[in-house]
Chain A
Amino acid sequence: MEFVSPEGLRLDGRRPTEMRQLRAEIGNVAKADGSAVFEMGNTKVIAAVYGPREVQNKSQQMSDQALVRCEYSMANFSTGDRMRKPKGDRRSTEISLVIRQTMEACILTHLMPRSQIDIFVQVLQADGGTRSACINAATLALQDAGIPMRDIVTSCSAGYLNSTPLLDLNYVEDSAGGPDVTVDKVIYVDFALNGRVKASVLWDLWLYFGSYGLKET
């Protein structure tokens, strides 16, 4: 299948280095301390942050830093076919872990010992790049909650199809089977907190495109 036309346009009319439209809103969930809705094209994600608050499970309490917990789930109606098990499957557990590690590296946890910060992210509409949208939404929600952070974390995915590096893949491009990477970067400090590669080919090119997309974010 042709993902990049001979004129250089993708299936949705974008150029290879063009991102989808970004939209963000803050403060949607009234009960949460911080919340954000982040849209990347058709992918829509809502994040809610509670904390810092008392640790609910005293055995996990850390005396010198805050405990960061993250839960990623997809709404049943978020994908084309209705999903049967939105939480608890391997992919959700893995993405929860990834988001938790990313945010934990960025939050100044030593300023809030013996407390707990909960990040709940739910995908409302999935069209590729849900992991990136979740990290972006979580960053905004954490800032809305006023939790001290070292820097903003932004995230974007990149892939390689039809011999062309592509930025910000949507669902069709993502499931095409080519290698892809999600890059999370902290602006102005040059280290990638989290990079996951399915096939280790042309790593430099992807990192370049990934950070190009992050500048735009």
Chain B
Amino acid sequence: MGKGSEIKLIGTPPSPYVNRVQIVLNLKSIDYEFVEENLACKSELLLTSNPVYKKVPVLIHANNPPIPESLIIIEYLDEIYSDVHPILPSGPLARADNRFWANYMDTKFFPLFEELRKTPGKEGKKAIMKQIIEGSQLLEEAFVKFSDGKPYFGGDDVGYLDVVLGCFLGWTKFVEKHNEFKIFDEARTPKLLEWTNRIWSHEALKDVIPESETLMNFYMILMKYRP
């Protein structure tokens, strides 16, 4: 696959947004070079590749201008490698639905985790955990609708929302343990709970999502530099 060796991914292993792109590259069997970034001391490459946000992930394909933002990278990869494991469905309505829920996850659901980390005090944290649980229930309904009885959001195999949500499972497990509450559980989100177990062991994800120890170290760094 000649195209594959031309792909560089700038990222850090504990970042779920970076993991997202790695999962898609795996699903599409694309070879790539992982350029590990030190977020405490950002490289010239990162700063010039993503001058607006200075964040990972950034994809560099051959000599083309770099592409930041995980969801934008995923759509780009899906368009240029359209013949292998399509990530988004082909119909406009299904694509719109998928994009809507990805935006929900990125703008409403996942920011709650960062808020939880930064909020001091039990009462404050309780209020955010409540919002996370409400969010998980919306996601359960979305899963039931998208999967339509099949194992994944994408149907028979992993699709866009499986990747967009799945990349966070290392962190959801970490947050559940750290805060002693269940985000996905038998009573409230039975289908999603089954899905988390299923996807956790999927080929494309299992070597990408970091171990708890890596996440714990990263968490400690975040607490220190971005309290």
* A and B physically associate: no
Identify the A interface with B (CB < 8 A). none
